[in-house]
Amino acid sequence: MAVFEIVMPKLGESIIEATITKWLKQEGDAVTEDDALVEIATDKVDSEIPSPVEGTLKKIHFGEGDTVAVGTVIALIDMDGEDTGSEEEAKEEDSSGQKGETLETEEKSEKETASDKTEKPDFSDSNRFYSPLVKNIARQENVSISELDSIEGSGKDGRVTKKDILQYLDDRKDGKIKQPETTTTAPSTGQKTIETPKVTAGTGDEIIEMDRMRRLIADHMVMSKHTSPHVTMFHDVDMTRIVTWRSRIKDQFMQREGEKLTFTPIFVEAAAKTLRDFPLVNASVDGYNIIKRRAVNIGMATALPSGNLIVPVIKNADQKNLAGLAKDVNDLANRARNNKLNPDEIQGGTFTITNFGQFGNSTGAPIINQPQVAILGVGTIMKKPVVVETDEGDVIGIRHMMILSLAFDHRIVDGALGGMFLQRVAKYLEEFDINRVN
């Protein structure tokens, strides 16, 4: 019998585990090559694992809601399509350490002892991700999910580490429940923990539970505002040259490149050039250290049909021409809306662009996408009466105007740098070469 192992794939250099959210195939189901087997989620992106082979799904080793380390076998596919109850299968399961049976035994053991011990935490009720080690400690020490969620994590992206939960257990044992101290090279802010006000629902109110992605977005936005002192600047841009050029060339561009030409790749191009001119904006802050990024990787905030937001990243945007940027923009946007992005495609961003104009809004004050230090907002392009300088004097003309906004981290970007950066982006847009073809 030829058996193929489905493993939890590598989901990016910083991701070591993922949560199984939904099995799309069940044991005994026939699968063809590239059939989606299971939906998985990380703290970065939701994704699907396709089957690389054709056969029958013989065994599922993990259930929905389980968090699994990268490289772990999560299912077996019988490529011969034989009966899954064969003698060879039994031998294989025995020789592999009784993977399926061990899991079932553990689940039964938990259910049998539940009545004798404090209720075990249901991690599906949490909006945070915990490593298998932290989960095991929580189960063994009867740490409720609400207690676990209250622990301030010192790991990457605020994750709770082994040290954090052990410190919490020590504090609980001593009768002093407090958040563990974290080591950092950043100056002390003197901030105190602020409790959110208690909210109660009134008669007729509807309570809608946030989905997993909305929870992550909410946490990330709050974290960003707590991390960076935001300053936002605005600048009017005359987009008339670009609007005229695009109207003239978009059909030709479609025929030549096979791609729709939107304004987004033009914004990305201008931002990439400006980031090369002002590399301190293409940076991150680590305590008292400034990390100037070599790569110019520009994220573009993309609205999803669910109402949530995701930010796919165009890698090395400064090294691509307009045709290359258009291909990347269209491809990433389409796959983002269809939940087909790979985890690596939403990581490594050094700067972000968000488009308020796609919803008809003139401008907005965006929130920085940590750990970046700036984000560019583009508003809708509108015809407006504007004073135009000519050789014969000033006249009132109808121009296509747009408002740019730049939110930046005042820890390292001062008003002068932020203002020069925003002005340079506007300059690249207003002096756009209308004779170019790509």
The residues annotated with a catalytic role in the active site are: 410, 414
39, burial (CB in 10 Å: exposed 0-12, middle 13-18, buried 19+): middle
Per-residue HEC secondary structure of 365-383 comes to CCCCCCCCCEEEEECCCEE
**What is the per-residue DSSP string for 96-122?**
TT-HHHHHHHHHHHHHHHTTTSSPPP-
Residue with tokens 């932290």: 134
Measured CA to CA, the distance from residue 179 to residue 209 in angstroms comes to 27
> 3-state DSSP call for residue 156?
helix
370-385 as b/e, with b when 16 or more CB fall inside 10 Å?
bbbbbbbbbbbbeeee
Measured CA to CA, the distance from residue 298 to residue 434 in angstroms comes to 24
Measured CA to CA, the distance from residue 135 to residue 103 in angstroms comes to 15
CB 32 within 8 Å of CB 57: no
Say how many residues make up the chain. Answer: 438
* Neighbour count for residue 148 (Cβ, 10 Å): 22
294, burial (CB in 10 Å: exposed 0-12, middle 13-18, buried 19+): exposed
Residue with tokens 């490594």: 348
R_g (Cα) of the chain, nearest Å: 26
